[in-house]
């Protein structure tokens, strides 16, 4: 066997060993409590992600079309990530008896962070208008293509549309 | 003939299973490798720092007396990284899964037993990763809407996650190698026109990681505290400008419980101290962080009596492990064991004051443990007894 092949099998075997240790701990450690509950939540996580979150994302991308998809990807992904991280602090039910847990106005923080994302997304295409500013190899959505010679803020070429994003 | 047509499995190939159902860009192997290695790195950092936290809290017997008490900010760094890498992994994992989503509808769904096992391992990897990130995040706001014990389940699932991840890397090694660099063979076979779009996508994912990090990392990385708008803790909020994990009320401690307070020290030469006697002992100061397992941390000025001075007075051997008993009733951390490496450290104090004032009741008045490089749950508050266990 070559070195790469040995490494590959070693990594795979280490993975199986860790997997086995984790599963056996889950099934046998009395401190875990209810592993049936864990299994139900694992299936639920998979269904919510694969059956709801991604299809909705793809359908949104399909609905806005190829041209807007490229422009909206940044604000959508950043705002979506901020929202995912903010959900627990926004939605935790019941007051905490500890004033140093959740001490901030999180609705304000969340709205403020999304406003910053929106402002950046609006300003980013204008960066292409700044003479001399280049992002080598990166296409800024909504901006002028490198070397296209057209005015900033407009796309000259049309990308193939249709299909899922 | 008609019956055969009904049984023809290709008739089931509809909806997203149709060939060419996903015509969008960036669902290719190069994008998957580029995002996947970042997501994998975040998950590995999360796993390793989680191991550090686990073994600092529950050391195996041989390690109890040799755990390092330096650097003083060690646990602050590793647990801050644990929570920050977990939060950073959220956009990375979601972007990775979006990239490879069309493969969920690969046709035929199952080709062989090996193929079935591989798909099962990916289902395990995806489900466990999603659950670990979501429940870990909920733990930081002390919200437990599930029927199992968080800590032990998080530990078991972490091993399942890292195992499934290593297995996935081993299975996909040829694909990963073929798409690792811009000039790798597999990358060059992909449409060159996707290159700029792919880099824009990666920059977007990077922006998302940056956004969730700067809005939360201030809970442990104090220079960013002014941008901390989404973290469950803020360094400036709490009695004496220091957050609290377990309040006196939650621990069942009231000022009434503390009248007639005495510190009991059990060892070869046992003794008791009243609060005035304890306060009259030689004082030492230290700047040490409180670093919580939930990810927040902050440095503070502590002053009090060295644990090793109290142990010397009790005639304890230098190699002794000690047991620290809190006045709080019940709770997993009302009794704490401390190995010799911490107990003998000159910075480990039975702290009596915080930032120049007597401890707030929520910070463990009249006396609490503060030791370097230790999880916050082991910095026992409302200390009533020190016991030498040889």
CB contact under 8 A, B170 and A9: yes
Q: Among residues 90-129 of chain A, which lie with CB inside 8 Å of chain B?
A: 92-93, 96-104, 106, 108-110, 112-113, 117
User: B207 phi and psi, to 5 degrees?
Assistant: -65, -40
- What pLDDT, on a 0 to 100 scale, did the predictor assign at position A137? 67
pLDDT in tens, A34-79: 899 999 999 999 999 999 999 999 999 999 988 888 889 999 999 9
B51: contact with A, CB 8 A cutoff: no
Would the pLDDT of A147 be above 80? no
Would the pLDDT of A164 be above 60? no
Closest of B264, B284, B286, B282 to residue B273, by C-alpha: B264
A11: contact with B, CB 8 A cutoff: yes
A14: contact with B, CB 8 A cutoff: yes
- What pLDDT, on a 0 to 100 scale, did the predictor assign at position A150? 38
Query: Where residue B21 falls among pLDDT bands split at 50, 70, 90?
Result: confident
How many angstroms away from the CA of B270 is the closest CA of chain A? 36
CB contact under 8 A, B21 and A58: no
How many angstroms away from the CA of B63 is the closest CA of chain A? 21
How long, in residues, is chain A? 165
CB contact under 8 A, B233 and A137: no
**Rounded-to-integer distance, Cα A61 and Cα B255, Å:** 60
pLDDT in tens, B266-311: 999 999 999 999 999 999 999 999 999 999 999 999 999 999 999 9
Closest of B43, B40, B41 to residue B51, by C-alpha: B43
Q: Which residues are paired to B369 by β-bridges?
A: B350
B137: contact with A, CB 8 A cutoff: yes
* Contact indicator for B146, B135 with CB cutoff of 8 Å: yes
CA dihedral (B326, B381, B359, B284) in degrees, to 10, reads 100
Domain boundaries, chain B: 2-227, 241-389
Q: Is the backbone peptide bond immediately before B108 cis, with ω within 30 degrees of 0?
A: yes
- What pLDDT, on a 0 to 100 scale, did the predictor assign at position A1? 66
Would the pLDDT of B358 be above 50? yes
pLDDT in tens, B195-254: 999 999 999 999 999 999 999 999 999 999 999 999 999 999 999 999 999 999 999 999
**Rounded-to-integer distance, Cα B79 and Cα B138, Å:** 16
* Contact indicator for B195, A137 with CB cutoff of 8 Å: yes
Degrees, nearest 5: CA angle A5-B162-A46: 115
Query: Domain spanning B241-389 has what CATH number?
Result: 3.90.420.10
A52: contact with B, CB 8 A cutoff: no
Would the pLDDT of A121 be above 50? yes
**So what's the ipTM on this one?**
0.94
Half-sphere exposure of A164 (CA within 13 A, CB side): 18
pLDDT in tens, B134-164: 999 999 999 999 999 999 999 999 999 999 9
**Rounded-to-integer distance, Cα A22 and Cα B154, Å:** 10
Query: Higher pLDDT residue, A129 or B179?
Result: B179
User: Which of A28, A38, A56, A161 should one mutate to test binding to chain B, selecting the residue with the greatest count of B CBs within 10 A?
Assistant: A38
CB contact under 8 A, B200 and A139: yes
- Of the candidates B138, B166, B228, the beta carbon closest to that of A88 is on B138
Strand order in the sheet with B335-338: B271-274, B262-266, B383-389, B321-326, B335-338
CB contact under 8 A, B158 and A14: no
- What pLDDT, on a 0 to 100 scale, did the predictor assign at position B4? 54
Give buried/exposed letters for B184-222 (b at 16+ CB in 10 A, else e): bebbeeeeeebbbbbbbbbebbebbbebbbbbbbbbbbb
Helix (H) or strand (E) holding A88: helix A54-91
* Contact indicator for B273, B263 with CB cutoff of 8 Å: yes
CA dihedral (A111, A116, A122, A127) in degrees, to 10, reads -170
How many angstroms away from the CA of B269 is the closest CA of chain A? 38
Q: Among residues 151-180 of chain B, which lie with CB inside 8 Å of chain A?
A: 151-153, 155-171, 173
Q: How many CB atoms lie within 10 A of CB A123?
A: 9
Q: How many CB atoms lie within 10 A of CB A80?
A: 17
B338: contact with A, CB 8 A cutoff: no
How many angstroms away from the CA of A153 is the closest CA of chain B? 16
Degrees, nearest 5: CA angle B234-B336-B317: 125
CB contact under 8 A, B250 and A98: yes
Query: Higher pLDDT residue, B2 or A45?
Result: A45
Query: Where residue A141 falls among pLDDT bands split at 50, 70, 90?
Result: low
User: Which of B22, B160, B210, B247 should one mutate to test binding to chain A, selecting the residue with the greatest count of A CBs within 10 A?
Assistant: B160
Q: Which residues are paired to B325 by β-bridges?
A: B335, B385
Would the pLDDT of A151 be above 80? no
* Mean pLDDT across B172-188: 97
């Amino acid at each position: 066997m070559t070195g790469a092949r040995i490494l590959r099998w070693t990594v795979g075997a280490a993975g199986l060993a860790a997997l086995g240790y984790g599963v056996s701990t889950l099934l046998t450690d009395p401190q875990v409590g209810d592993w049936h509950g864990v299994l139900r939540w694992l299936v639920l996580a998979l269904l919510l992600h694969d059956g709801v979150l991604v299809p909705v994302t793809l359908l949104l991308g399909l609905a806005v079309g190829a041209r807007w998809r490229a422009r909206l990807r940044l604000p959508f992904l950043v705002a979506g990530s901020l929202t995912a991280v903010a959900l627990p602090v926004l939605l935790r039910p019941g007051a905490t008896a500890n004033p140093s847990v959740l001490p901030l106005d999180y609705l304000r923080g969340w709205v403020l962070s999304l406003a910053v994302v929106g402002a950046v997304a609006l300003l980013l295409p204008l960066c292409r208008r700044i003479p001399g500013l280049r992002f080598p190899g990166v296409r800024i959505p909504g901006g002028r293509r490198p070397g296209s010679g057209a005015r900033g803020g407009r796309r000259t070429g049309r990308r193939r549309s249709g299909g899922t994003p | 003939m008609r019956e055969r047509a009904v049984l023809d499995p290709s008739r089931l190939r509809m909806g997203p299973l149709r060939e060419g159902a996903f015509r969008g860009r960036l669902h290719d192997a190069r994008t998957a490798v580029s995002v996947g290695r970042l997501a994998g790195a975040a998950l590995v950092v999360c796993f390793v720092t989680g191991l550090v936290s686990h073994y600092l809290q529950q050391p195996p017997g041989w390690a109890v007396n040799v755990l390092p008490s330096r650097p003083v900010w060690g646990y602050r760094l590793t647990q801050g990284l644990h929570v920050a890498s977990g939060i950073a992994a959220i956009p990375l994992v979601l972007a990775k899964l979006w990239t490879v989503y069309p493969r969920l509808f690969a046709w035929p769904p199952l080709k062989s037993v090996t193929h079935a096992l591989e798909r099962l391992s990916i289902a395990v990897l995806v489900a466990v990763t999603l659950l670990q990130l979501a429940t870990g995040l909920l733990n930081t706001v002390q919200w437990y809407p599930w029927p199992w014990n968080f800590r032990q389940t998080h530990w078991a699932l972490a091993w399942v996650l890292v195992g499934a991840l290593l297995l996935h890397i081993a299975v996909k090694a040829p694909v990963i190698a073929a798409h690792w660099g811009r000039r790798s063979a597999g990358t060059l076979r992909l449409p060159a026109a996707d290159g700029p779009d792919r880099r824009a996508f990666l920059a977007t994912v990077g922006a998302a990681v940056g956004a969730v990090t700067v809005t939360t990392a201030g809970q442990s990385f104090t220079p960013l505290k002014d941008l901390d708008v989404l973290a469950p803790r803020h360094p400036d909020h709490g009695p004496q400008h220091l957050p609290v994990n377990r309040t006196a009320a939650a621990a069942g401690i009231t000022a009434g419980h503390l009248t007639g307070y005495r510190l009991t020290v059990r060892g070869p030469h046992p003794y008791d101290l009243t609060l005035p006697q304890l306060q009259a002992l030689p004082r030492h100061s230290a700047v040490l962080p409180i670093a919580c397992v939930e990810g927040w941390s902050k440095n503070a000025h502590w002053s009090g009596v060295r644990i090793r001075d109290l142990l010397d007075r009790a005639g304890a051997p230098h190699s002794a492990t000690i047991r620290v008993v809190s006045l709080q009733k019940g709770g997993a951390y009302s009794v704490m064991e401390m190995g010799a490496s911490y107990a003998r450290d000159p910075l480990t104090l039975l702290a009596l004051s915080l930032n120049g004032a007597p401890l707030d009741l929520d910070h463990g008045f009249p006396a609490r443990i503060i030791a370097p490089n230790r999880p916050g749950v082991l910095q026992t508050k409302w200390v009533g007894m020190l016991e030498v266990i040889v």
